[in-house]
Every structure is written in structure tokens, then in C-alpha cells.
Amino acid sequence: MYISYNKLWKLLIDRNMNRQALKAAAGVSSASIAKLGKGDNITTDVLIKICTALNCDITDIMELMPGEKPN
């Protein structure tokens, strides 16, 4: 199983935001945004900052997927 952040990218598109705007709104680092883009592990603190900035729930930005993480 792995975590997918595809819901986050779709939410950003719906809100006409890009990754730089998310970085500024949530107050997270470029490295954290890069990790999200790669589907790497990220701290819950970063996820909470993103949810707070976007006024959404954790399930609105990520989901648990079956199988192996795609390359």
C-alpha cells in the first residue's frame, strides 16, 4: 500500500492554485512540496498546515492506494 497525493493536485487545480501558491499559503518548504510531488513520506505537521491553508480535511488531499508505489 502507498499514499497518493493526487487529490491534493486536483484540489489545487480546482482552486486555480499552483505549487508555489500552496507553499506560500501553507508556509511549508520547497523540499516538502517536492516530496509531495514524488509521493514520498511527509510529516503530519506539513499535512496539517496544508489542510489548514486549504480549509479541508486530510482525506481531501491524500488517499491510501493498494499495491506498490508507481515509479
Phi, psi angle pair for 65, to nearest 5°: -110, 145
CA 27 to chain centroid, in Å, comes to: 13
pLDDT digits (tens, 9 = 90+) for 1-24: 899 999 999 999 999 999 999 999
Residue with cell 492554485: 17
User: How many distinct structural domains can be found in the chain?
Assistant: 1
Indicate whether 18 belongs to any domain: yes
Residues in the chain: 71
Indicate whether 71 belongs to any domain: no
Burial of 31 (0-12, 13-18, 19+ CB in 10 A): exposed
Grid coordinates standing for 56? Answer: 479541508
> Structural domain of residue 31, as residue ranges?
2-65
Query: What's 37's domain CATH number?
Result: 1.10.260.40
Indicate whether 70 belongs to any domain: no
pLDDT digits (tens, 9 = 90+) for 15-50: 999 999 999 999 999 999 999 999 999 999 999 999
Indicate whether 12 belongs to any domain: yes
